[in-house]
Amino acid sequence: MVAPNADLPDEAATLAFGAALAPCLEPGDRIYLFGDLGAGKTTLVRGVLRALGWSGRVRSPTYTLVEVYEVSRLHLHHFDFYRFGDPREWVDAGFRESFDGPTVSLVEWPQKAAGTLPPADLEITLIPSGSGRSASWRPSSPRGTRLAACLATNLASPSSPS
Ligand SMILES: Nc1ncnc2c1ncn2[C@@H]1O[C@H](COP(=O)(O)OP(=O)(O)OP(=O)(O)O)[C@@H](O)[C@H]1O
Ligand SMILES: [Mg+2]
């Protein structure tokens, strides 16, 4: 089966994609974001957070490893493992356990922490496409199947929030 995908011709489209995903999120969901440097992963997370009502800044967690948000009804962790070195660092900080609790995890560069992260529910990949991007996604659990169905519905009718 061909993976579902969406054309994202500009930054606004990536933000809208994140906004379509936002109302689908439930406590405990794990969403892993793939794509090269500059692919638009942080932009997608910004779209999620804005749609949930976050009005503050959305910083890239490249240097901090994680940014933590309490927004809408959700406790959300935005990780970036690009510079990930010592797994003990974040195990000691208690972040490994957060993946098994009610926290929503949105993870950039999960492949850099392969072996220490639990499996994703939904994997989203962003690749360059002309001057824009193309997104594809793949569910890998019942949660992921729910997320993908909700995402598809919201992308089909972006003006009617669920
Ligand atoms: N669909 C799009 N079309 C064109 N530009 C986009 C699109 N989505 C995002 N961008 C732009 O791409 C740039 C990089 O985006 P972003 O920081 O989100 O990438 P990233 O995948 O998080 O990179 P990194 O791996 O370095 O964290 C930004 O300037 C953003 O505005
Ligand atoms: Mg980023």
Q: What tens digit of pLDDT does each residue of 49-83 get? A: 999 999 999 999 988 889 999 999 899 999 999 98
Domain ranges for the chain:
25-151
* Cα–Cα distance for residue pair 81/108, rounded to 1 Å: 6
- How many CB atoms within 10 Å of residue 115? 5
Regarding the beta carbon of 147 and ligand 1, being less than 6 Å apart is answered no
Regarding the beta carbon of 139 and ligand 1, being less than 6 Å apart is answered no
Half-sphere exposure of 54 (CA within 13 A, CB side): 23
User: What percent of the chain shows pLDDT beyond 90?
Assistant: 76
Ligand nearest to the CA of 44: 1
CA of 40 to the centre of ligand 1 (A): 3
pLDDT exceeds 90 at position 146: yes
Grade residue 116 by pLDDT with cuts at 50, 70 and 90: confident
Q: What is the pLDDT averaged over residues 119-132?
A: 97
pTM of the entire predicted model: 0.95
Fold of domain 25-151: Rossmann fold (3.40.50)
Regarding the beta carbon of 38 and ligand 1, being less than 6 Å apart is answered yes
pLDDT exceeds 80 at position 47: yes
| One-letter amino acid for residue 45 of the chain | V
* Cα–Cα distance for residue pair 102/140, rounded to 1 Å: 18
pLDDT exceeds 60 at position 90: yes
- Per-residue CA distances from 127 to 3, 27, 49, 106, 119 (Å): 14, 28, 22, 18, 22
